[in-house]
Structures are given as C-alpha cells and as structure tokens.
Structure 1
C-alpha cells in the first residue's frame, strides 16, 4: 500500500491511525464479503468503522473517496454524467442448442487456422447489470454502466457502496498492481436479498420490484447513493477493458490475477475446457440453475488463450471469441385477446399479440411479438387462441405455439393488412424479404420512430425531446424531417401540451447545443439499416469524413474488418437514395457540423488525460470530449494524480479544489482550443 499522505492541519499520528484503520477495514471487508471467511467479529469490525468515522468527522481534511466510509453514500447528484468507454463493451452472439456451440467452435478453429482443439473458459451468465470500474494507482476513480456499449453513465458514488467491490486494490503475490486498469463485471442482487428488499418495500407501502435484475438496475441508477447503499448489491468480475501493467497468457489467468487484486470471481467459473466438457458443463448448470442463490440465464463461453482472442478480434456488435449459450426460455399459457400492427421507423409492419396478462419468470407479460406474416401463418395464430408464450432468452416475449386442442371454433384468423394502419398508404412485401413495409416515407409512424432514434442519447442527444413531445410535433405537422427540429422556436413549442416558456426555452437550448457532434454519432442518428453505434464508430474511424464515406463503393466498405457485405450494401443503398442525400444536405444547411475523426495515434494530445468541469461557452462537453479523443487524448470523469489538465468552464464543481490540491494544471476554454 502507498505511504500515508501528509494532510495539512491534521496531526501525523491521526493520519497514520486513519490510514491503518482504512487498510484494516478494507482487509476485513474483503475477507467477509468476497472470501466469506471473516477473521473478526461483526462488533469488532463496527468499532473500527465507528472510530474511522469519528476521525474523519473531527478532521474533515482526512476525507478520501477511497475510504471505507464512502460505502455509506455521498450527497445526491442532480443528474448522471456520461463517459465513453475506451474499449467498447460489446454484446454477445447467442447459442440456443449444442449445434450452435459446435458451429461456434468450428468457426473459431477455421478463423485461427488450427487443427487442434481450442480450450475455453465457461462462466455462468449472470442476470444483472454490466458495469466498468476504472482504477488508477490502485484506487477506484470511476465506475460506469455499459449504456449503449460505447457510452455509459457515471455511477462512481453508487459503485463505492457495493461491499464486495474493492475501493483499493490488494497487492498480488509479487506486489505488482497495474498503474491503470479498467475492470468489467456484473452487479446483481441475489435471491435472498431480493426477497428481503421486496418485503421491506411492501411493508413501507412502496411498489415491489418485478425481478432481481430490475432491482439491481434501479439501485445503480439512484441519484442518491445513500439509497443505493441500502440495497443488497453484489458484484462478480468477468473481464477487463484497457490495462497498463498486467500480463497474462489466458483468460483463466486473468480471472486469477483479478481475484488476487481483490475482485470477487464467480466460483462456478471453469477454465481449460475442451468442447465436449463445455457442453457437459452447460447442461450441468442448466440442471442446478434454480438451486443457485442468484439468477443466471445461460453460460458464457470464451476462448481461453488471450493471443487467440486478439487474433479473432471483434465483429461490429460482438467479439468473435465468445458466445452466450442461453437456457431454454420459461414458458406459460395464456389467451390471445387481439392482434395489432406496429409500424417501426423503417416502415416495417410487425404483428403483435395482445395477451391476457401472465407472469413469466417474474415478469408480467401482456404483449408478444409475432415477428412477421410468415410466422403468423406457420404457427396459425388466431385471435382467441390459447397459446404457449415464452420469454426468448429469458428476455423477449414471443408466441411459441398454439394449443389447437383448446379451440372452440370462435377464433378469428389474422390477415396481414395491405395498407398501413397509420397512414393508409400501400404496404408492400419486397421479394426475398419476410417483412411487409409501408411504402410512404412520410408516414407519421415512421417519422416518429426516426425522430426518436435521431434525438436519442447515442445520436444527437437532444435532452427533453421525448416520445410524447415527438408525437405532438409530428401530429401537428411541425416536424416532418430531421432538419425541421433545428427550426423549432420557443414561441411554437410553448403552445404545445405541458410545454411552458421555461421548458420550451430549455429544449431550444438543447437543440442548439446538439448541432455539433462526432461523425460516428451523426451516422448512427441517420438510422441506416444494420448500422449501430459500434458500426458507426468503425465507419467514422475508417473514412474520417462524411464525403469519403459517401463516395466509398460497396466493395471498399465490405473489405473493412467488422463490416461485411450485408452492412456494406445497406450503407451504399442508403447514400444512393435521393431522399437520403437531400435529408443529409438539409441537416448540414441547418447548422449541423461534424467533428471529423482524426488518427488518435498521431494526435497532438496522445498520452494526455483531461477532466472537464463547469459549463463551456463555445462547445458542449460532449463536443469537447470528442475533439480531445479525436486528437489522441483521454477524458476522465474524476481528478487523480494521472490527470494532466483540468478544463474549467463557468460554475465549476468540486473538481477545481481537488485539482489545486494535487497540483494539476488548470486551463480554461481558450487554452483547450489552443491545445486542439
């Protein structure tokens, strides 16, 4: 552990005692909550904690975010900040049977071009919330949610309250602690904690949580971390993002190293397994899943050797070296009350079964997708049928089959409409596709869906432009395209339902602030088929400018790692359409400007870490962050000794005082512009 710091106006003996208490409490907390092997009584632990609280109360200068006392929670936040993950937190491809896993194994060996058996690590797939934890000089400096995989919400104060999560890393056997490490894992609430939590909420007259995952997610998103501190959250580590100073050969070695640093690793993890053992392990977990003290919905299979993981790399949305083998879905029977049609932003008409509400796996289900016309025909689903419903992968409700023996003869067959139920335009099914689409690009349902996508946090991030307001704006024909958003003014907006002058003014400011954004988020906002956040990031990095991208051929696009022919064709098709070309030009003429992607490796800010505080005048903080990263720099959410610059705007927060204490260089907005 580092030596005790010198704290002004605090006796050295007090500083030493506080540091000794912190180290002892961290040690005993780890033994209790991670190793389940306490060495002292609860009463003795409580006495040490109370002594530390008394010292920190008597000497406020002793305050330290790494102190065990931080676990009781901090003052409430007004809102969550956001942070960009240095390495995307990708989702996983799914397997639903042994054949899928065998195919995955064959694909891995084919891509690696090796004839030998590949060894794998298997981990229970926790039904919780993925988070990233950043440690610098062994101390937790930031925690964030997975978010959209590219950007997450900063939940540092909430994460500090989780007792199985280390605030300060333990020394490994050789004493080597990474200078900086990004750790990833799952926050969850076990079955016993969930039942106790709901019992307490019911006694207080509060609504109970539907399932442990919802309870964990809601607990992590509390603006008041003192509320989070009262929730029975737990944590298991499963991997890392970027790391400085940790060398391991295999994923199994990585988990062992993380365990030595103080992180809890699921005891059901197995490593060094060949394919047959992997399949056996899955069926063993499937048999015991309901006996476990926490919820799991499958098993994650990862290539064990780190070198192989690196050679396999990632696709646009998922790594090629891992797959999630999902358990069979939980099923129940219910009745189909009606079949409605939903129209999405691409014009797709999706039949949806309205069901007699039924509880499935702890969640009340009243709607289930029927996917498309072919699926309705194949399953012969009729209004009034009794059906078997499941949450596919324990998540998405779907109709599995009709129980035909219970039919009465009064059931009504479903016919796919030939016109759009929203706008009345013709609905066509393109040859080779299973989906019927509304052909009217001006269909209100499509416009609403596109605007919702366009304004989302991962796109233009227009705070205040929610679904209900979008419905009003489209229904009143105040917006018909993306560009129309940038011509809204306070006078028009203040006339809408629940939109007074103040709300209207705030929305106009949010719209103006969103005009400048990175190329990757602009591409995602356009709603190009198959282009999610990660694919948009790949395209922006590859082409750097919008002009270069729009000029690229299908073949050129398909050659990019992680893109492929289907995505390449969709991108080329989008930019070949006249209406899309016009929509893009209208946006640019409306004042939208793009932050182009430079090569970070050659940027002038490579190796420099920035922290932002206060309100910037000439750019939003999102824009400042994007420009710093485009120049090779890194933007952190909290001040540490590794911070090179604190950028100060108007009304700065507590980061300014901490930067002065640590001797961090403080710059203003004009200084940042000069650096850029």
Structure 2
C-alpha cells in the first residue's frame, strides 16, 4: 500500500512539474486551470496524509516558474508568494472560519478584487523614479525586465514619493482587443498564435527587443503596496496608489463578512464577459494590515488571502471534423474542428481530443453536438457528446491507421495508449524534433523559428540536428531567401556557433529522447560527465539512478541502440560540438558541504542562483524548503518562515561570511 502511495505521489509530482515547465518557460498552457488545481490539490492531500513522502523538490513547496538566461536575476526583498485556492462557497467559508480562529474576537473586514489573468510584476521606485521592474520568477528570485516595463504607458515612471525604497506589486496584462490584434498580425505573417492573453503578455514582457513591447500595448493593474506602514487597510493603500497615478482596478470593493464577499463575487462574475481584459477568478484579502502577522503565512501562501477560481465554462457546439496531428516524438494527437463558439471571452473553433481511446471511450462522432470546456482560456477540450436522435444516425468514428503526413502505418508502443508514427522519414516528426532542439531549454538558438526550419528542410539544408551546424555552408543561399538578408543570416549563424559550447545536459535534452526531460538530462550529465559515458550505460545501471527509473532508462538505451543516432553523435563530435558536462562553477569537494543539503533564504549580497551554483559546485544538494533532512540554512536578511522552521528543527543556520569560512 505504501509503495503505491509513493508511486502515485511521484506520478503527480512529475505531471505538475511538466505542466509548470511548459507554462513558465515555454509560455504554453498544457492543461486548463481546473485540471491543474485538481491535480495539485490531490498531491497536497496525499503529502499531508503521508508526510514521509513529502520532499523539498515537490511542486507543493515551490511558488512559481523558472528564468530566462537573457535577463539579470534579482532577489525580491520580500518573496512574491502565490495564493491558495477556493473553488466554491464552502471553501470560502472554511477560509473565513480559519481567519476567525486566528483572530478570535478581533474585528476584520475583507477586500474583494478581480484576479487579473496576466503576469505578476514588482515595481520598485527610488527617489521618485522607477528603479526596477522584476517578474515573480520562482517567488524569491525574479528577472529584471525594467527596460521592457518602461514601455508600458500605464505604469508611472515617476511618483510623488521620494523615499529610498517604494515597492508596489501588480499584474501586467493584455486587453482582449490587443490580443486579437496581435494574433491577427501573427496569422498574416505565418507565425504561431498565442494561446491566450496571459501567454501573450508573458511572451511580450520577456522580449529582448523593447520596441516589440511598446508596440503590443501592455497594461498593468496594481494590487498591493509593500510600504504599507502608514496605512491601516488595504483599501486605503489602494486609494493612495491611485492618487500616485497607478491603475487600480475599480471593481475592487470592501465586504464586511464572508456573505458580503460571496455577493461581490457574484457581481463581478456577472460582468466578466463584458470586461475588456481577462480575469480567471476573484482575490479575497483581509482588509486590515494589523492582522496579517497574527494570521501568518505558509512557505507558499499568505494565510490572510485566498483566490476564488472560476469553474470551467462549458458550452455546446457542433463537431465538424476530427483530424490527427504528429508531434516531435511521433505521438498522434487528435483534434476537433468545431462550429465557432464564444467561450470564456474568445471565439474558438478547435479543441483537443487527446488520443483515439479518449474519442472511443466518449463515443464521439463527427457531426454530433458536443460539450466543450475552456477554463484558464486555453485551447478547449471536448468533455462529452450529446446523444440525441441525430447522434444515432451518425457513423461510428474509426481511428486513423496511417500518418497524416507521411502515410506510414501508425503503431502503439506498449504499455502506452497513444499511437505513434515511427517513420524516420516523416517530415512533421523531423520538423518538430528540430524545433525542440533549438528551443530555449535545449540549445537556445535564437532566430531559428519553426517557419525557417520548415523552409530550410524544404530546401534540403537541414534534415537532422547535425545539419543545423552546417548552415554556414549555405550562407549565400540563405541571404537570398525571402525575409532573410545578410544581417539576419549573420545573427542566426552567430547564435548557432555560440550554441556549440552549451553544457551536455542542454544537448541531451535537445535530442528529444522520449521521457528525457530537463531534470533527467541534468542528472545524467552531471553524474556521467560525457556523452560517451552515457552511451555505454546499461538499462540496469540507468534505472538504479535516483529520479531516473526504468521508463527513462529503457528509452535512453533504446535511443542509443539506433545506428543513425550514433552516427549523428559522432558527426556532432567531429564538428567540435561540446559533448561534456560544463558546471556553472569549478567543481571542488569540502567535507562539510559535499553531499550535504542546504536551503537558502532571505536577502543576500549576491543572487540566490550564485549561491546555488556555488554549493552545487561543491557537491551539495540545494533544496527549496526546510525539513529534518536539511543540514544548513544559509540565511540573509528578512529570512522569514524558513528561519523559524530551521530554528525549531535544530538545523544549523549560517550567514554568507560563515559559508565562506567553511569553504576556506
């Protein structure tokens, strides 16, 4: 029984980590919010019931996303926490009962405001001027996007406050009209469309070209003042921020009790479709600042606030067609062509049907009326079919037997339910594989879009990843291509050349070996150091590595058994592509650090990533939360709850100076 629970927890962790990777690093929403929240709640419940399986790397112990190497890192003075969720009135009343329990007979009210569907931002002003603009990042360390934020006209560049440090937090968003305009332009230019305004806002704010940010007309609602010492309530602080020129949402209002909160939620919900911007819920905060410390915080959430999440919106429309598409691994995804329907503020005409088993189990038929849900404003999903009189006359759907791109026979790879195209000559597989190889988390070759990859493949310049590094041989031809030119080609070739020196884990991940994600690629690269060593490993050796397991082990071994894959690796080696692990810092050993577990907290003189790389270079494990297995807490100023927990558990607490004394 306990082993089944452990396996279930690991399965949920892997699923959530993959979703987080797609959302935070690729600006892709792989599932809707309701499914994500349901899965996360299930994981929290299991970890609470079986605390022996709670680990520091669990997504329940993390706040947010990852980073783009093109932006400088910045450690938040106070962590940007997330919010716990409520899904119905019972959840809201449970939240209210907890507040009553913490405050006893003290009086309190609530402030209720829309939850903007955008990108969290921290704005720091110094001596009246906008000094820094920082993304949430992982909640502790964010990205400095100051130059891009200065392109947002609704964010004041100066304010009537001359203090040394003035910080507000808010949400950068894209209006519905701007979203439609941008996607229409991208469609005309043959570029990939943004899935929703949230992804578009995130992708825009992380642009390297500030002019693009300016052209896309981002906006920002400000929802919190960090310098709240001179105010008694959240409401009064927002009124002051409005006076400073910040955009404060006019729908925010005070409620005297939880019943008043529920009424405000109903009122805002009724206005949702008419708003010019997307909201995905309602935020409820205790209004009185004096109560915040009494109510307290968890490692992820303030306990004095909660987010009410809207239920998935469901509409009925006609299913016009079912068609398959092929991904980079050859996996078949079935899609529905729908009669256009207005859903969660946008008109949609397509939905995912996942795989053949999904369609067969739900008895979906072309021409039937179907129910479609779209929570979180992503590509919707067909959830059920309406079996009326018309339905009975429709032909039963039959799965495809051949690849829609290369016509080769589709196969099932046990024990998976999905179909796969296994042809090495499938153009769509090749294109998607190349797209993955050049992506940010792999070789990060800027400027090599899927449209260019398709064009280069059509011209027979690129057929596999090794060919990318030979594009310089075709420079004169590339310059003549439409929308290229000498400068664009030079920039592309320069980016390709610089990618040759990436550390091994980037290449290993980029090869697209099934089940090998960023984490497993890093584990293998760090442990075995070279591609040659990994190629020689047996399935048994691989499966015994922590966090690898039998599925990844088999996939890695199978990939290196294919002759053309070995030939490609040898070709990369002949072109001086780096095939070795390159640590961020020189690796050393120290008996007090090597194999020990560290947690880092508070404001330090250098970025948290600097200390993480430093400790990893000495063979330490760096965890996100304090537990009985933690050996050291490296604490800076304003260390907060992690310091309290470390003190209770008797964990050794050190500062920067003490760490360097240990190193020396």
Partner of 1:187, secondary structure, is: strand
Partner of 2:502, secondary structure, is: strand
Match for residue 117 of structure 2?
127
Aligned counterpart for 1:515 among listed residues 500, 507, 515: 500
Does 2:97 match 1:158?
no
Contact 2:332 2:419 in 1 (8 A): yes
CA-to-partner distance for each residue in 1:376-417, whole Å, 9 max, x for gaps? 112222222232323243312222222332627663432222
In structure 1, the gaps of 5 or more residues are 1-86, 202-208, 241-245, 271-276, 314-321, 559-566, 610-625, 633-676
- Cα RMSD for the two superposed structures: 6.1
- Give the superposition deviation at 1:350: 1.0
Q: 1:518 to 1:126 in 2, by over 3 A?
A: farther
- Give the superposition deviation at 1:165: 6.0
Contact 2:196 2:378 in 1 (8 A): no
Match for residue 556 of structure 1?
545
- Give the superposition deviation at 1:500: 6.2
Match for residue 365 of structure 1?
348
- Give the superposition deviation at 1:602: 8.4
Contact 1:388 1:399 in 2 (8 A): yes
Q: 1:467 to 1:401 in 2, by over 3 A?
A: same
Aligned counterpart for 2:572 among listed residues 574, 578, 587: 587
Q: Could you tell me how far apart the structure 2 residues matched to 1:88 and 1:356 are? A: 32
Taking structure 1 as the reference length, the TM-score comes to 0.54
Partner of 2:468, secondary structure, is: helix
In structure 2, the gaps of 5 or more residues are 1-23, 55-96, 103-109, 185-193, 286-291, 590-603, 616-664
Does 2:438 match 1:455?
yes
Match for residue 626 of structure 2?
none
Contact 1:544 1:598 in 2 (8 A): no
Q: Could you tell me how far apart the structure 2 residues matched to 1:287 and 1:481 are? A: 56
- Give the superposition deviation at 1:509: 3.1
Partner of 2:171, secondary structure, is: strand
How many residue pairs get aligned? The number is: 482
Q: 1:520 to 1:415 in 2, by over 3 A?
A: same
Match for residue 553 of structure 2?
572
Contact 1:450 1:527 in 2 (8 A): yes
Q: Could you tell me how far apart the structure 2 residues matched to 1:265 and 1:519 are? A: 47
Aligned counterpart for 1:236 among listed residues 222, 232, 243: 222
Q: Could you tell me how far apart the structure 2 residues matched to 1:108 and 1:385 are? A: 42
Does 2:483 match 1:483?
no
After TM superposition, the structure 1 stretch with the greater mean CA deviation from structure 2, 584-593 or 214-223, is 214-223
Q: 1:135 to 1:554 in 2, by over 3 A?
A: farther
Does 2:427 match 1:444?
yes
Q: 1:588 to 1:391 in 2, by over 3 A?
A: farther
Q: Could you tell me how far apart the structure 2 residues matched to 1:441 and 1:131 are? A: 45
Q: 1:490 to 1:101 in 2, by over 3 A?
A: closer
Contact 1:528 1:574 in 2 (8 A): yes
Contact 2:124 2:133 in 1 (8 A): yes
Does 2:384 match 1:401?
yes
Partner of 1:556, secondary structure, is: coil
Q: Could you tell me how far apart the structure 2 residues matched to 1:111 and 1:136 are? A: 47
Q: 1:213 to 1:595 in 2, by over 3 A?
A: same
Partner of 2:388, secondary structure, is: helix
- Give the superposition deviation at 1:123: 8.4
Match for residue 289 of structure 1?
269
Q: Could you tell me how far apart the structure 2 residues matched to 1:395 and 1:283 are? A: 28
- Give the superposition deviation at 1:488: 2.4
- Give the superposition deviation at 1:284: 7.2
Q: Could you tell me how far apart the structure 1 residues matched to 2:25 and 2:203 are? A: 23
Q: Could you tell me how far apart the structure 2 residues matched to 1:569 and 1:159 are? A: 49
Aligned counterpart for 2:409 among listed residues 413, 422, 426: 426
After TM superposition, the structure 1 stretch with the greater mean CA deviation from structure 2, 568-577 or 211-220, is 211-220
Partner of 1:414, secondary structure, is: coil
Q: Could you tell me how far apart the structure 1 residues matched to 2:197 and 2:464 are? A: 41
The correspondence of residues 23-422 of structure 1 with structure 2, limited to 5 A, is: 94-95=33-34, 103=42, 106-107=45-46, 109-110=48-49, 125-131=115-121, 140-143=130-133, 154=145, 156-159=147-150, 161-163=152-154, 177=165, 185-188=170-173, 228=214, 231=217, 233-236=219-222, 285=265, 288-291=268-271, 295-298=278-281, 309-310=298-299, 326-405=309-388, 407=390, 411-422=394-405
Q: Could you tell me how far apart the structure 2 residues matched to 1:599 and 1:93 are? A: 39
Q: Could you tell me how far apart the structure 2 residues matched to 1:88 and 1:134 are? A: 24
- Give the superposition deviation at 1:536: 6.7
Q: 1:260 to 1:393 in 2, by over 3 A?
A: closer
Match for residue 654 of structure 1?
none
Match for residue 15 of structure 2?
none
Q: 1:229 to 1:301 in 2, by over 3 A?
A: same
